[in-house]
């Protein structure tokens, strides 16, 4: 151990080294004191830093370290005990603050790491928000382009203009090199090139519709990328060397009127599609973006709607032209019908004047001739002439009445008249003809039948006379009964039909007239046709009777004009017939006017040829006047 030199000998104090240490401690102390000032400035200027108390603790630690180095400057020379105590206190304080700071950092570091994590999360969120804002701006731009394209497309309703405008606007908006439209042919077996943007290839070329690429486009409602070598992409000449461009295709529905289904209506025709092909510029690295494809899809739908509107407009224009042609034809037909009606009216007026005068002369002279002494053969010929003349006169009157009814020129003459006198006048016409055929004629008027009424006396008398005349005409033997009564208010419901709706009122009443005969009758199959113009029954019971077939048709028109209804009942051939009609007449309060003019209807009670009621008519003057009226009537 004596010879060991492992202990370093004491090194004497060097003034130069002490000076260097002295200077170093001074600058260390200066730096330590400047750092708290910077921290105080940072805390003051920062309003969101979450760990201010930690900075304050760090500042205290640094201040104590600086004070330690500063006090250490007096320890390089001989110093007093006070300096040593101050130095010791400063080091102990520094040790305590440094340990507390170290323990505090153990708790702060995880929070600082979490702050860093949140910072990264917020950064990612900010980047995602930036992407979404970019997408929103892209969508807004796409929407603006769509609105612009829609406005341009819908500014016209011509299909060729719509398609051409679509290609031009898409080419300008998307910067396309070429854009084309393939339309289905009339046969539906191929697609024909109908419109192009640059006109780089002849329009009219076709491709089969059953190609796989065509089926792929038809089966998708989205825009898809197709190979540039496909037949649909051959919309520009293959000249020169270029980088193959990307080509997109989308289907365009061709909507027809039958495609707009209502409820469960079946679709009348299959849906058809056109194909729009869009080509990006060649010799570039440009690719289709999602928002561009979405823009193409929206434009394709807008084109479909615009084409449907154009088709509807064309259809409506064709319908309008057809309607105009029909209106012109109808107007021409109306004018021709008016001319025909005027010609018919002129003819009927001439016939009324020129034919009635000689016909009345023939009837009058034939009637007078029958009163002279004639041989049986001559009497038969004169009766034939008289019968034919009467038939012809009746036909002329019926034709004139029917003509007025059909053209609407016939108007009812509404006035107050003697209702009982109408039936008396009818009987005065019918009885002489019935007496020749030895038929019994009777008339029965209801006790409550009013003496007078308001209506068309002439048309009522003509209707009753026509029906009664038919009864006399089609009856060979037996009797004819005419019954007139008022329909009670509670019985009106029984006579209602789809065309006849009687209603009770204090201002009017309904007159019911029935004419029953024991004549040849009408078969059930002929009943629906008895009121048809120029219709003749086909049953054998009345084939021997001649007539124009207009009488009942005119009666039905008269009854309808008077607000009534008419019908016939028959149990069959040979069982007679009952004709019934109901008309509406006005109630007349003043009946005294006709009280003195009324002659009661009284007829002999016996069943001879002159019998028709409970009491007899007076002979003499009445009979002679009846005869004269009969002659005038025939």
Report the sign of the C-alpha dihedral through residues 111, 113, 114, 118, in that order: positive
Taking only the tens place, the pLDDT of each residue in 163-183 is 888 888 888 888 888 899 898
What's residue 292's pLDDT? 84
Q: What is the pLDDT of residues 118-155, one digit of tens each?
A: 777 788 888 888 888 877 877 777 677 667 767 766 66
d(CA 363, CA 371): 13
Q: Does pTM surpass 0.85?
A: no
The predicted-structure confidence for 521-580, as pLDDT tens digits, reads as follows 888 888 887 888 666 665 545 554 555 566 788 888 889 989 999 999 988 888 889 999
Rounded to the nearest 5°, which phi and psi values hold at 617?
A: -80, 150
Q: What phi and psi values does residue 362 have, to the nearest 5 degrees?
A: -65, -45
Would you list the domain boundaries of the chain?
19-131, 154-317, 411-536+548-587
- Going from the C-alpha of 210 to that of each of 94, 192, 223, the distances in angstroms are 91, 13, 19
pLDDT (tens digit, 9 = 90+) per residue, 9-63?
A: 544 555 666 676 667 777 777 767 776 776 677 666 665 556 666 677 777 777 7
The residue ranking higher by pLDDT, 440 or 240, is 440
User: Is the pLDDT confidence value at 258 over 50?
Assistant: no
Q: Catalogue the long-range contacts made by 443-447 (C-beta closer than 8 Å, 24 or more residues apart).
A: 443/481, 443/482, 443/483, 443/484, 443/601, 443/603, 443/612, 443/613, 444/481, 444/482, 444/483, 444/484, 445/420, 445/484, 445/485, 445/601, 446/484, 446/485, 446/486
**pLDDT for the residue numbered 417:** 93
| Cβ contacts of 515 within 8 Å, gap of 6 or more | 464, 467, 468, 471, 480, 481, 482, 483, 578, 579, 580
Q: How far apart (Å, rounded) are the C-alpha atoms in residues 25 and 87?
A: 14
Residue 597 pLDDT exceeds 60: no
- pLDDT tens digits, 409-436: 677 889 999 999 999 988 887 887 888 8
User: What's the CATH code, domain 154-317?
Assistant: 3.30.450.40
What is the reported pLDDT for 517? 92
Read off φ and ψ for residue 442, nearest 5 degrees. -135, 150
**How far, in Å, CA of 199 to CA of 212, rounded?**
26
- Which tokens go with 138? 């892209």
pLDDT in tens, 183-213: 888 887 889 888 888 877 778 788 898 899 9
More confident residue, 148 or 324: 324
The answer, yes or no, to whether residue 480 has pLDDT greater than 90, is yes
Quick one: CATH architecture of 411-536+548-587?
2-Layer Sandwich (3.30)
Task: Work out the pLDDT band at 389, boundaries 50, 70, 90.
Answer: confident
CB atoms within 10 A of CB 420: 20
Residue 474 has pLDDT above 80, yes or no: yes
Strand partners for 272: 254
First CA to last CA distance, the chain? 189
Give the Cα separation of 287 and 247 in Å (integer).
9
């Amino acid at each position: 151990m004596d010879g060991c030199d492992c202990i370093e000998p004491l090194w004497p104090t060097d003034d130069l080294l002490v000076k260097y240490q002295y200077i170093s401690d001074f600058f260390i102390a200066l730096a330590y004191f400047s750092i708290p000032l910077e921290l105080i400035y940072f805390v003051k200027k920062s309003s969101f830093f979450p760990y201010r108390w930690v900075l304050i603790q760090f500042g205290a630690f640094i201040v104590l370290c600086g004070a330690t180095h500063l006090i250490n400057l007096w320890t390089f020379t001989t110093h007093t005990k006070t300096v040593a105590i101050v130095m010791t206190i400063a080091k102990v304080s520094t040790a305590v603050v440094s340990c507390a700071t170290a323990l505090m950092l153990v708790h702060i570091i995880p929070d600082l790491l979490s702050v860093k994590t949140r910072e990264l999360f917020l950064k990612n969120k900010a980047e995602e928000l930036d992407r979404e804002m970019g997408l929103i701006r892209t969508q807004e731009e796409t929407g603006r382009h769509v609105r612009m394209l829609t406005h341009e497309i819908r500014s016209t309703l011509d299909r060729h203009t719509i398609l051409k405008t679509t290609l031009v606007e898409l080419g300008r908006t998307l910067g396309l090199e070429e854009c084309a439209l393939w339309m289905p042919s009339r046969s539906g077996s191929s697609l024909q090139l109908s419109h192009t943007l640059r006109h780089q290839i002849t329009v009219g070329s076709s491709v089969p519709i059953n190609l796989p690429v065509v089926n792929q486009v038809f089966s998708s409602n989205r825009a898809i990328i197709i190979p540039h070598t496909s037949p649909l992409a051959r919309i520009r000449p293959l000249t020169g060397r270029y980088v193959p461009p990307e080509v997109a295709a989308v289907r365009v529905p061709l909507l027809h009127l039958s495609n707009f289904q209502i409820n469960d209506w079946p679709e009348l025709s299959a849906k058809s599609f056109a194909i729009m092909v869009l080509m990006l510029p060649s010799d570039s690295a440009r690719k289709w973006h999602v928002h561009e494809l979405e823009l193409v899809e929206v434009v394709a739908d807008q084109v479909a709607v615009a084409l449907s509107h154009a088709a509807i407009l064309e259809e409506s224009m064709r319908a309008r032209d057809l309607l105009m042609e029909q209106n012109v034809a109808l107007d021409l037909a109306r004018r021709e019908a008016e001319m025909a009606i005027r010609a018919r009216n002129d003819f009927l007026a001439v016939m009324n004047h020129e034919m009635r005068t000689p016909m009345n002369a023939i009837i009058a002279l034939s009637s007078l001739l029958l009163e002279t002494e004639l041989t049986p053969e001559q009497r038969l010929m004169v009766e034939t002439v008289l019968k034919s003349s009467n038939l012809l006169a009746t036909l002329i009157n019926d034709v004139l009445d029917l003509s007025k009814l059909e053209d609407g020129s016939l108007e009812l003459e509404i006035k107050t008249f003697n209702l009982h006198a109408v039936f008396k006048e009818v009987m005065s016409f019918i009885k002489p003809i019935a007496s020749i055929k030895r038929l019994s004629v009777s008339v029965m008027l209801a006790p409550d039948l009013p003496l007078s009424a308001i209506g068309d006396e002439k048309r009522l008398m003509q209707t009753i006379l026509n029906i009664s005349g038919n009864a006399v005409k089609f009856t060979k033997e037996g009797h004819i009964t005419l019954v007139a009564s008022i329909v009670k208010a509670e019985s009106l419901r029984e006579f209602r039909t789809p065309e006849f709706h009687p209603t009770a009122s204090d201002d009017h009443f309904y007159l019911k007239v029935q004419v029953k005969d024991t004549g040849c009758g009408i078969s059930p199959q002929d009943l629906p046709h008895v009121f048809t113009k120029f219709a003749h029954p086909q049953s054998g019971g009345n084939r021997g009777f001649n007539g124009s077939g207009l009488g009942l048709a005119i009666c039905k028109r008269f009854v309808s004009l008077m607000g009534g209804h008419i019908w016939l009942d028959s149990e069959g051939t040979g069982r007679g017939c009952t004709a019934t009609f109901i008309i509406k007449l006005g109630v007349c309060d003043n009946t005294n006017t006709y009280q003195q003019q009324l002659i009661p209807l009284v007829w002999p009670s016996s069943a001879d040829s002159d019998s028709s009621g409970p009491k007899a008519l007076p002979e003499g003057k009445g009979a002679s006047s009846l005869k004269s009226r009969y002659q005038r009537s025939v």
